[in-house]
Amino acid sequence: MVPPKLQPGSLIDGFTIVETAHRGGMAKLFSVSHPDYDFPLLMKVPQVGGGADPAMIVGFEMEQMILPRLSGPHVPRFVASGDFSRQPYIVFERLPGKSLYHRLETLPLDPAEVAELGARIATALADLHRQDVVHLDVKPSNIMFREGGEAVLIDYGLARHLHLPDLMDEEFRLPYGTAPYMAPEQILGVRSDCRSDIFALGVLMYFFATGVRPFGDPQRMNGLRKRLWRDPWPPRALRPEIPKPFQEAILRCLEVNPARRYPSAAQLAMDLQDLSKVPLTMRAERLRRDGWADVLKRRFNPDPIELLKPQAAAGAQGKAPIVMAAIDLTDGSTDLAEELQLTLQRILDNTPNARIACFNVLRINRISLDKEVDDTGTNLHVARLVQLRHWAEPLKSPEGTITCHVIEAVSPADAILDFARQNLVDHIVMGARAQSTMRSLLGSVSGAVAANAPCTVTVVRPRIGKSEPST
């Protein structure tokens, strides 16, 4: 179903579109009203037409999962959401004023003002982290303030909830974030460390106090990785009036290894609220970057931070099995669907902590999708995601234990194997058609998967005696 075109006066689930508040490349924001709510509302609607970025779609799903679970003064109040089967949207409170982005025109700011802003943002991060969420996109445009002065963190499309599936990590290989603010471990693929947000806040404070980004604005992976071994100029080298305690706090936030940063945003907020109490180290005295001997040593003998991702992945694997259900939505066999669902339900019943990842491959040619929308104008990626969710509806499990993943790929077998390896899958379940011609086509996929999978593979067939639909 093609989503309706939204314009002033349009009505969606009781919400009336008042006006367009913001038009971005990934989503539109509309001012909306509803008779049951007496405060200003915004509706966020993703762009899901032809050419829509799959990462944007997944990020919107993550925001729909995370925002309803958050509360308190440091997040926008969640109101409602709509799914992709009809009209995807999120409605939340409209905050007064502008984001911190508009202050970029006046940089650098007085160091005391930057420290005060940093303290308020750190307090907001501490509240977010207590709710088991890492924001992972802390930057000026994602920070607003209430009339009482509390910082509010917005836009959770890249965020990670530590007790929910991380779809961004599971479906995409490259790190996502805003280049100047990404923490080293985030660049390496680690998305579960709250200290990544502390690094980003350190970048923001450095930028606002000096007018210069500490690591520039790299657009390629080589440029991003440079921050793992090349330190920035100390802030006081660029602006001598910055107090030594403030430089100490900023540079501690910017340590490459998270273990050497502030252990919590609450401790950072405490230091920023009273810089006179900050214990000084060599960081406070620095006026130059490290010499090339130290830089080369770090470049070719990297910090043990490199070991963080495999350690984190191994620990996560031991908690509960990950079962990947490779579903062919082009197969019209209801018998095969029932057998697959029965097999997965048995796994869920026998292993309560199991995670089921329903997986489908949207086949593309070697350059791009053959077409981006179907005959009704619906984005193919979105349509396939809706189909996959509908397929998984009969499965009964605790909330959050079943997720759906649509991957665009040339080779279905390679896509299945890549997903299984990347996400440390323990068990792959996939179907085999009964018809000889169909089975021969699927066999090349299931055979390749069974021969090369890093885990157990179960190939499910319809029970003997049940017939397949004729073709």
Question: For residues 340 and 431, is the Cβ–Cβ distance under 8 A?
Answer: yes
**Range picked from 6-10, 104-108, 458-462 for highest mean pLDDT:** 104-108
Q: What is the 3-state secondary structure (H, E, C) of 235-300?
A: HHHHCCCCCHHHHHHHHHHCCCCHHHCCCCHHHHHHHHHCHHHCCCCHHHHCCCCCCHHHHHHHHH
Domain boundaries, the chain: 11-93, 100-311, 320-460
Q: What is the pLDDT of residues 92-112, one digit of tens each?
A: 999 999 999 999 999 999 999
Single-letter code of the amino acid located at 102: H
28 to 6, 20, 44: CA distances (angstroms): 10, 8, 6
Report whether pLDDT(361) > 50.
yes
Task: Name the CATH code of domain 320-460 (choices 3.40.190.10, 1.10.1200.10, 3.20.20.70, 3.40.50.620).
Answer: 3.40.50.620
* Distance separating alpha carbons of residues 25 and 386, to the nearest angstrom: 23
Single-letter code of the amino acid located at 334: T
Region 211-233: what's the mean pLDDT? 95
Q: What is the pLDDT of residues 148-192, one digit of tens each?
A: 999 999 999 999 999 998 888 888 877 889 999 999 999 998 999
Of 202-206, 293-297, 398-402, give the lowest mean pLDDT range.
398-402
Report whether pLDDT(375) > 70.
no
Work out whether the CA dihedral 269, 270, 276, 278 comes out positive or negative. Answer: negative
Region 371-395: what's the mean pLDDT? 82
pLDDT of residue 260: 92
Report whether pLDDT(341) > 80.
yes
pLDDT of residue 317: 40
The CATH number given to 11-93 is 3.30.200.20
Q: What is the pLDDT of residues 54-64, one digit of tens each?
A: 888 899 999 99
Region 297-317: what's the mean pLDDT? 59
Region 233-250: what's the mean pLDDT? 98
The CATH number given to 100-311 is 1.10.510.10
Question: For residues 179 and 172, is the Cβ–Cβ distance under 8 A?
Answer: no
